[in-house]
Amino acid sequence: MRKKANNNLFNKGLLLVFCFYNGLIIQGHAQSKSFIKYVQPFSGTSASTTLASQHIEDKTERLANTIPAVAPPFSMTQWTPQTQLSEKKCLAPYYYNNKKFYGIRASHWISGSCTQDYGSFTIMPISGKLKTSAADYAADYTHAGEVATPAYYKTSLPRYNLLTEATASLRCGLIKVTALKADSVYLLITPNSDQAKGYIKIDRQKGEISGYNPVHRIYQGWGQPAGFSGYFFIRVSKVFTTSGVFNGARVSANQSIKNQKDLGAYLGFKLQKGETIRIYAGTSFTSIAAAKLNLETEINNAALATIVDRTNQVWERSLGQIKVNDPNEKNKRIFYTALYHAQQHPRLFNDVDGGYPQFAGDYTRKTLKKGNYYDDFSMWDTYRAQLPLVELLKPNLANDFANSLVLKGQQGGWLPIFPCWNNYTAAMIGDHATAFIASAYNKGIRGYDVKEAYRLMRQNAFQMPDSAQYLNGKGRRGINSYLKYGYIPMEDSIPDAFHKREQVSRTLEYAYDDYALATVAKDLGKTSDYKQLMKRASNYKNVFDQQEGMVKGRFANGSWYKPFYPDHREPYITEGTPRQYTFYVPHDIPGLIKLMGGEKILENELDSLFAKKEYWHGNEPGHQIPFLYNYTDSPWKTQLEVSRILAEEYSEGAGGLSGNDDAGQMSAWYVFAALGFYPVDPVSENYQLTSPLFKQAVISFNNGKKLAIKTIRKSKKSIYSSKITLNGKSLTKNQITHQSLVHGGELIFYLQDEPNKP
């Protein structure tokens, strides 16, 4: 019945009045959309329906937690339909199968995460009588007539006979509301504070609304002010006849309200059928005045179609850096959706004039001299593939990322471990800002203060902060134990962290970070540091029990933790099992092979992992595992397993991702693997090769060079490599260097149906 009613409304109202109009805005651009048409913004917004996800019993692990974000790549603010209230941790503002629509949210949700939204606000159009309680004004959410692209969103609200459209620039949004019949129309503007904080003010004379939603920390410093707010400045195109403020269902004629639960402002209009309201919204993390300047600079009074076209063009250029040619349209949709998801974060944090909130500051504004400042670095995840993808495609942007991390370290005193909401968090484990900076440095990305970068990375690796700073989230968790024993013993439970214990995983990841820093130390002539760090890079051996052939918990006296369950979640392992984490030695696979007893043992252990279905693609520490067969006599098994993962762990539609996308890491894995190479150790500049998914792909680099990747298959089912050539020369190893890729040319994979077995 509801579907029939919606169709009637659509036919009588939307088609008659607006079909031609929307054709001009959207369909008029269709011919120029070579790549954006493949993007599915709803992918990952409901429980996974991929083949691999069906054996996962915990349904929460089947949520990718992405949103249908409307914004250019790496924007300050993403604009999304809102089907979920609050900024609560692990609760995305949008889920595809939710039944209620609460407006368009200006969101700072970290795509594919289990963190928090922050500093957001929502604009909801309604008609008829004024309603200010979310339970009262929520509209039934239907996908009928809905359109979602990276540059544009449209939905009709049958309850209110309103058509709502949205588009965005880097820091601003434009929402257009059209009446499908004559009625009273209201705009509800709500800062989304869960803390009963915030402020909103109406200037009736100027037709402007402004306010802010204070940001609070989670993890270390949970609940404390983050030192900045999400500010907004809104201008509407039509004079409103009435206005006021509210908190929940309580309405007031006052024109401002502050620090009340469920606070907001309403604007009232009288609209005839076909009349529109354009809502121009600027955002900032420094001030209302800056939000206004951002709006005036980026959008001003531009038409919706103009901004849609601009943002389309930005995405076309960005997605078009990789041109895929293949008859399989489904795989192209999955690929370009992955490339879209891999370009959401880190988040732009500075205003158009260079102003940004000081890291871990107290509402202090800093100004950049050049470049842009970024935050929301999901570092436990993205250093593996998402940030290396940026280094490959957009090295200038990667340089801004590295410079932003250095600025954070200078302003806060310590290089942050996992900087989000512009503050220290100490979330997750490892010290992977070091891994990323080292990776960028080794690829020649060095347009930041290298000496300061090294000083800050070294400080994390060699020093323990004082107790107050440590409690605030600065420094490596458990660093004193790590330096004393060469591993973190079971006695150190890491009490001052969100992730407590997890001693073995921390040891393994710190060993990788020590190796990463060692590569920079060597290049800078820091010989003593280099020797110490390279010795520490072997600390993974201290938690490897050769009798078991796996990593295990270990006490300070050297004895091993018992009992040992290799395939169970153990307290000394982060989000995984000892068997899974044993393979996390990306910088020294030959050393791991020696510990295990030879290449054949490594191969057998990999075989066992996959046979037991212990490989878990939905979490990052295992993302390098399928490529480790390249270090054995059976690299064809890498080609087999990667091909299987591409087919089983990714699909299309709202359930198209198997697990949390984690700021684009899951998606970046797909992009790399589908192209035929992956950075098992991104610090090393080497990529492990596998079989490409597509017939042809052309990568355009910012140095003007292009790399054509061609796949010549013996038959449609061919996935095994018989020969790989780069510019006519055969590659004798199963790897390729970063410089070889960006130099350009032609990389050809010759594939056959059966593997070349030793």
pLDDT in tens, 349-360: 999 999 999 999
Any idea what the Cα angle at residue 498 is, between residues 664 and 406, rounded to 5°? 60
Q: In this model, does residue 3 exceed pLDDT 60?
A: no
DSSP 384-444: TTHHHHHHHH-HHHHHHHHHHHHHHHHHHSS--SS-BTTB----SSS-HHHHHHHHHHHTT
The percent of residues in the chain predicted with pLDDT above 90, rounded, is: 93
Q: In this model, does residue 61 exceed pLDDT 90?
A: no
In the prediction, which pLDDT does 26 show? 42
Instruction: Report d(CA 713, CA 720) in Å as an integer.
Output: 9
Amino acid letter for position 456: L
| Nearest C-alpha neighbor of 671 from the set 317, 440, 385 | 385
Q: Kindly indicate the confidence band of residue 56, based on its pLDDT and cuts at 50, 70 and 90.
A: low
In the prediction, which pLDDT does 63 show? 86
Helix (H) or strand (E) holding 270: strand 263-271
Tens digits of per-residue pLDDT, 601-613?
A: 999 999 999 999 9
Q: Residue 150 in contact with residue 39, Cβ under 8 Å? A: yes
| pTM confidence score | 0.95
| Nearest C-alpha neighbor of 22 from the set 242, 223, 135, 176 | 176
Residue 720 zone, left/alpha/beta (φ > 0; ψ -120 to 50; rest): beta
Calculate the CA dihedral of residues 43, 48, 52, 57 and round it to 10 degrees.
160
More confident residue, 30 or 443: 443
Tens digits of per-residue pLDDT, 564-579?
A: 999 999 999 999 999 9
The per-residue pLDDT of the chain, averaged, comes to: 94
Tens digits of per-residue pLDDT, 680-738?
A: 999 999 999 999 999 999 999 999 999 999 999 999 999 999 999 999 999 989 999 99
DSSP 302-337: --HHHHHHHHHHHHHHHHTTEEEE-S-HHHHHHHHH
What tokens appear for 717 in the block? 């089912």
- List Cβ neighbours of 21 (8 Å cut-off, separation of 6 or more): none
Is the preceding peptide bond at 692 cis, omega within 30 degrees of 0?
Answer: no
Determine the average pLDDT of the residues in 467-474.
98
In the prediction, which pLDDT does 663 show? 97
Tens digits of per-residue pLDDT, 176-227?
A: 999 999 999 999 999 999 999 999 999 999 999 999 999 999 999 999 999 9
What tokens appear for 752 in the block? 């056959």
Which domains does the chain show, CATH number per domain?
A: 2-32+65-302 (2.70.98.10)
Instruction: Report d(CA 352, CA 700) in Å as an integer.
Output: 28
Q: Kindly indicate the confidence band of residue 153, based on its pLDDT and cuts at 50, 70 and 90.
A: very high
Tens digits of per-residue pLDDT, 475-515?
A: 999 999 999 999 999 999 999 999 999 999 999 999 999 99
Q: Kindly indicate the confidence band of residue 15, based on its pLDDT and cuts at 50, 70 and 90.
A: very low
Instruction: Report d(CA 613, CA 363) in Å as an integer.
Output: 49
What tokens appear for 694 in the block? 């597509």
Instruction: Report d(CA 644, CA 752) in Å as an integer.
Output: 16
The percent of residues in the chain predicted with pLDDT above 70, rounded, is: 95
Q: In this model, does residue 661 exceed pLDDT 80?
A: yes
In the prediction, which pLDDT does 60 show? 56
Q: Kindly indicate the confidence band of residue 619, based on its pLDDT and cuts at 50, 70 and 90.
A: confident
> How big is the chain by its Cα radius of gyration, in Å?
26
Q: Kindly indicate the confidence band of residue 58, based on its pLDDT and cuts at 50, 70 and 90.
A: low
In the prediction, which pLDDT does 1 show? 35
In the prediction, which pLDDT does 28 show? 41
Tens digits of per-residue pLDDT, 530-555?
A: 999 999 999 999 999 999 999 999 99
In the prediction, which pLDDT does 608 show? 97
| Nearest C-alpha neighbor of 103 from the set 132, 60, 74 | 132
Tens digits of per-residue pLDDT, 296-320?
A: 999 999 999 999 999 999 999 999 9
Determine the average pLDDT of the residues in 670-678.
98
- Which three-class secondary structure state does DSSP give residue 186? strand
